[in-house]
Amino acid sequence: MKLTTKILSLIVVLLMMGAAAITVNKRIIGHEIVKAHEDAVAIDTDTMTVMPDGNIVIHAAPFAKSNIGYAGPVPLDIYIHDGKIAQIEPLPNSETPSFFNRTKVLFSKWEGQSPDRAAKLHVDAVTGATYTSMAIINNVNDGLDYYLNIEGGTSHSFPAKMWIALLVTLAACIFPLFVKNKFYNYVQLTANVVVLGFWCGQFLDYSLMLKYLSDGFALPGAIVAIVMLIAAFIYPLFGRTQHYCNHICPLGSAQILVARICGYKIHLSAGVIKALDWFRKILWAVLMFMLWADCLTGWMDLELFQAFQFRSAEWGIIIAAIVFVALSAVVARPYCRFVCPTGSLFKRAENLG
């Protein structure tokens, strides 16, 4: 396929996703396109309130516009009583409740501390809710920096495990281009599952891509996702089709590893494969129309990648992921080939035909 045709396919897919971001989130790259509904999360622009008794309330909502969580801003208020942080109160937000509830444990890290000491604390993100955690951590740090008149401060931190996730992702992007060693391939696939999947919760899905299209990239937290997006959308322009799906995606890696356990494989006829492929295409088209119509968009939270965040994922998602991974022992990558909406999007970006 000619490079110009590939570029055209990529542009069309980006326009399709941009339309979905505008329809679902009412904004594109941080710019409001459609006036927010009355019940949308409001962000107060006042940064600090001094109470009659001398106590302070820091409103971190203004910083939340740049410290974006998984689904949007994560505003909060920091209450300072008698020189110490008495309470951190989250405000209404668009995060998935099950994920957000897991991150509330972070508040106790700062509560009871003086603002000066709290601003110097190194707080790690909660495993399985990294984006929401980092939004909370950065909002608290920015709010405390404002209170202490610290310029720069400790905001926008990048936890050590995210550096490891970045190294694993870079290795998956680079080494398969030159290394064909079977042992290395096992190690890389295992690292994808363990580090990117279970430990760091780093993968591409519709929710994440719409988030970035709607709000832009908040660095350095988005570095890993940016590298993954390059592998998913840019590599195919140079002949590396489905590089993300085959070499980086944690769920794809899990299916490939399990497939190597069993030598027996169920033979699917050409007719069955064609029918399943049409099912995948039709399913993807229906789901895209749901996004454009802003109808039943909650399907994005049902992609099986969420199973890696098993502490907060729904049991139905976990069971479905286990079934597909187990099935991959006898049918090569069944979820990737016949269901995955995110994978279908990448295929369309490679070739609209």
> Measuring CA to CA, which residue among 123, 66, 139, 130 is closest to residue 102?
130
pLDDT of residue 127: 75
pLDDT of residue 44: 44
Beta strands in the chain (DSSP E): 27-28, 31-32, 48-50, 56-59, 76-81, 84-90
Per-residue confidence of the chain (353 residues) as pLDDT tens digits?
688 889 999 999 999 999 999 998 888 887 777 554 444 444 444 688 877 777 888 888 887 777 788 778 889 999 998 889 999 999 888 888 877 888 989 999 999 998 888 888 888 888 777 888 888 998 898 888 888 864 344 445 567 888 999 999 999 999 999 999 999 999 999 999 999 999 988 999 998 899 889 878 877 778 999 999 999 999 999 999 999 999 999 999 999 999 999 889 999 999 999 999 999 999 999 999 999 999 999 899 889 998 998 877 789 999 999 999 999 999 999 999 999 999 999 999 998 65
pLDDT of residue 310: 81
Orientation angle between helical segments 341-350 and 3-25, nearest 10 degrees: 140
The answer to whether 85 and 113 are in contact (CB under 8 A) is yes
User: Which own/partner contact pairs does 53-59 have at CB distance under 8 Å and 24+ positions apart?
Assistant: 55/79, 55/80, 55/81, 55/82, 55/86, 56/80, 56/147, 58/143, 58/144, 58/146, 58/147, 59/143
pLDDT of residue 34: 54
pLDDT of residue 198: 93
Q: In what order do the strands lie in the sheet with 84-90?
A: 48-50, 56-59, 76-81, 84-90
How many residues appear in the chain? 353
pLDDT of residue 341: 97
pLDDT of residue 158: 64
For the chain, what is the radius of gyration of the CA atoms? Answer: 22
Q: Quick count: other Cβ atoms within 10 Å of Cβ 51?
A: 11
pTM higher than 0.95 for the full model?
no
pLDDT of residue 147: 82
301/286 Cα distance (integer angstroms): 16
The answer to whether 113 and 121 are in contact (CB under 8 A) is yes
pLDDT of residue 149: 64
pLDDT of residue 1: 63
